[in-house]
Chain A
């Protein structure tokens, strides 16, 4: 994959661009990255992408701005907040059709690039120099409702609870949006301060995809950012607990949820083996968890493992009958034990390697996948292309994976126990 990546250290900007004549769409995206510090600052910062993208100086009315985007062939301006490792990522993306599909000849791509730059650096403020009150109230309410919505989805809720418990006391244990309390106690003036702080200190990661993209978008951003010292965004590895933390909560549900967090060897050289361990353990339908816990024992519909590389951990998630919670935990540990004992066939290794190779090769087929790939790479200091990574994956040995499994420590077990409603 040919691409351009440029680091402008003096202004804390890393930019990636890739011409994509094979796509029907164009995409411009920016991520502002700062370490998670507290629920309060997480809530403050989380408001920023939503506030700056709801209206603009040219379109101060929400509905009029929406209509303007519709007339640009349904272009969208998306805001998002996520956590990667110990960092909070605030994202703004502008996505629209590539210019060659614009039947009225508009320059959709350039318009979106300018729009993204404008809303970030020159958002609409009220006369008092802060975000307008109506927008503030709307976005604050909607972030609280996002938390409520995540509670409604029990699979997401259980995983979030396990993450909070496992990383308690670490930045990664701070919820990406903060808590309901910190969201509800936000002040408009403080959010303006958070916006200024982001432009002063956040690492800025920027992406451009489209027909004829070049470094212009990055140059424009560099000029607006100016020279500044930005925060370090290195994540610290997780140190596994000496004794497993066990938390069980009850709720009136038909099915219980089980989340198990394992700590792994934190040596950066072991990252590839850790990732491959997650794949052979529970990453595909040919993995041990799928074949044994689901297919042979019929204990669940889903039972899968994901590696969170920046924190050197693996999470296993499953939905099971309440009466089978302990049996499922034992069955999952049994499969890990099997790998630790060296029970890993050549086929299991090869299938996992080929699955990874295919997903690496397919990264080039989507702008969002390319963005996600290089975003992860920049955050972990690993700028290998997907193709280079795939080559290295094919060199991982069985012994390396078995060693990774042997380093696994059961750190946290979270059970959301379904009970019948009274």
Chain B
């Protein structure tokens, strides 16, 4: 029997359902009154960082070529008798998929015939079909996707930073792999990884918008196929606490330089709690949002712009860092100002008023996402895969104190573990 838990928020006056289906799949249903769209998301905890893994029924960990999770995402849409896109198109539903560092997710959105759309989603993701020929065809398409990202300065500046911060963790590798690594991928690799990671115990389904738990459960009962009782765990090589390089520079066809400044957080084996996560966001908001003193100084000195400057708590399995980035005529001056602000905050701390104001702003920003079934479905799945819960996270913004933030500052701000990645315009002779 499936077990159903109602997750409620008194603050939001809202609720969703978390269901442990007897197939082993965790299912979320988040109904929203007055919304016409049904958004369905079927995801596996399998992303680009899962190059090495250990199955519970095998003695040793295995290592695979980079880019398989993303390759699978492309290939699952195909079956022997046509592709999933056309099945969705027949009922007016749109569909897509994406791969991140940590997960792969397949989605549909529709405004009618949602039951059929959910059936198609559950069916095609559970029906792998790969041949040498279809694998070869996809290598051309993905090769162009990789090249598109090769020219994307924002992508390059991020990965150069990750390579400056991480020695061995696979976070330093491109999500799609490389043209060379995907050339190694065979249909056998795809089947192997599929049967390892697309086990329902390693997956979640999330349906939001126009939906009911009863209908979703009924369709799950009909469509889900039993999975083998196998667990899979991530196997990362040991990652030193130190960084690799303090400064990485690359030149590309850009008009203005871009930068990403990162501070590596050591001992990232355990992902943080809802409140720790929210506290870190409050800290970054106080330090670098557009109403912060740092932002103002940089803006007044014409070193950053409002459109591009941002900060992020970049955290996942076995990695965590604080990242500040944007466009700047003088990235080194921006990084120096960030370092100075870190020292100041460490010495002076933050005050209660700043914490309350930032927490209120972040609470509001989160609430704004609750209109969108897509955001909701993704948010509950993000939280599940990282061992957190959405409402608990949201409500924690009201509990955060200056002491919490100051403790976090002391834990995280270590200049020895900072690295900067810079993309500069080409030099004159390279342009010609």
Give me the interface of A with B, judged by CB distance under 8 Å. 21-25, 62-63, 65-67, 69-75, 95-97, 100-101, 103, 134, 138, 141-142, 145-149, 151-155, 251-255, 284-286, 294-295, 298-302, 319-321, 347, 350-351, 354-355, 357-359, 361-362, 364-367, 418, 421-422
* A319 close to B357 (CB less than 8 A): no
Once the chains bind, are A284 and B144 in contact (CB under 8 Å)? no
A79 and chain B: residue at smallest CB distance: B306
Given A101-B364, A154-B152, A367-B371, 13 other A-B residues pairs in contact with their CB atoms under 8 A: A21-B34, A25-B368, A70-B357, A74-B363, A103-B398, A146-B305, A152-B154, A154-B151, A254-B150, A255-B148, A301-B145, A354-B91, A361-B112
With A149-B308, A151-B254, A286-B86 as given contacts, are A22 and B35 in contact (CB-CB < 8 Å)?
Answer: yes
Q: Is the CB of B367 within 8 A of A24?
A: yes
In the complex, are the beta carbons of B371 and A25 less than 8 A apart? yes
Chain B residues in 8 Å Cβ range of A147: 255
Q: Which of A321, A359, A362 contacts B144 (CB 8 A)?
A: A321
Which residues of A sit under 8 angstroms from B429, Cβ to Cβ?
A: 422
B89–A301 CB distance below 8 A: no
Which residue from chain A places its CB closest to the CB of B360 in the assembled complex?
A73
In the assembled complex, B223 has its CB within 8 A of some CB on chain A: no
Contact for A300 among B90, B144, B252, B308, CB less than 8 A: B144
Q: How far is the CA of A358 from the CA of B117 in the complex (A)?
A: 13
Q: Which of B18-26, B120-128, B267-275, B289-297 contacts the other chain?
A: B289-297
Query: What would 7 A/B residue contacts be, using CB atoms closer than 8 Å?
Result: A22-B35, A67-B357, A96-B364, A103-B11, A138-B302, A251-B253, A295-B141
A22's nearest neighbour on chain B, judged by CB, is B34
Is B370 close to A, CB under 8 A? yes
Name the contact of B361 in the complex, choosing from A73, A284, A286 (C-beta under 8 A). Answer: A73
Are A152 and B361 in touch, CB under 8 angstroms?
no
B137 at the interface (CB under 8 A from A): yes
**Alpha-carbon gap, A18 to B295, bound state (A):** 37
Q: A74-B362, A301-B144 are in contact. Are A252 and B307 (CB under 8 A)?
A: no
* Nearest CB of chain A from residue B99's CB, rounded to whole Å: 14
Whether A70 lies near B291 (C-beta < 8 A) is yes
Contact with A along B139-167 (1 / 0, CB 8 A): 11110110110111110000000000000
Interface residue from B151, B299, B373 paired with A365 (Cβ < 8 Å): B373
Question: In the complex, A409→B150 CA distance in Å?
Answer: 33
Minimal Cβ-Cβ distance residue in A for B11: A103
A138 to B307, CA, bound (A): 12
Chain B interface size band reads 35 or more
B347 within 8 A of A: no
How many angstroms from the CA of A359 to the CA of B111 in the assembled complex? 8
**Judging by beta carbons under 8 Å apart, are B111 and A361 in contact?**
yes
B86 lies within 8 A of A351 (CB): yes
Evaluate whether A255 and B150 lie within 8 angstroms (CB atoms) in the complex, with A21-B34, A141-B302, A148-B255 already known.
Answer: yes
Q: Does B93 lie at the interface of the complex (its beta carbon under 8 Å from any beta carbon of A)?
A: yes
Chain A residues with CB under 8 A of B89: 284-286, 351, 354-355
Asked whether A255 and B111 contact (CB < 8 A) given A67-B357, A149-B256, the answer is: no
Assembled-state Cα–Cα distance A155/B147 (Å): 13
Residues of A within 8 A of B357 (CB): 67, 70-71
Query: Within 8 Å CB of A75, what residues of B?
Result: 364
User: Could you tell me the distance between the alpha carbons of A357 and B111 in the complex, rounded to whole angstroms?
Assistant: 9
Cβ–Cβ < 8 Å partners of A70 in chain B: 289, 291, 357-358, 360-361
Q: Let me know if B291 and A301 touch, CB within 8 A.
A: no
Contacts of B363 in A (CB 8 A): 73-74
B44-68 vs A, CB cutoff 8 Å, 1 = contact: the mask equals 0000000000000000000000000
Contacts of B142 in A (CB 8 A): 301
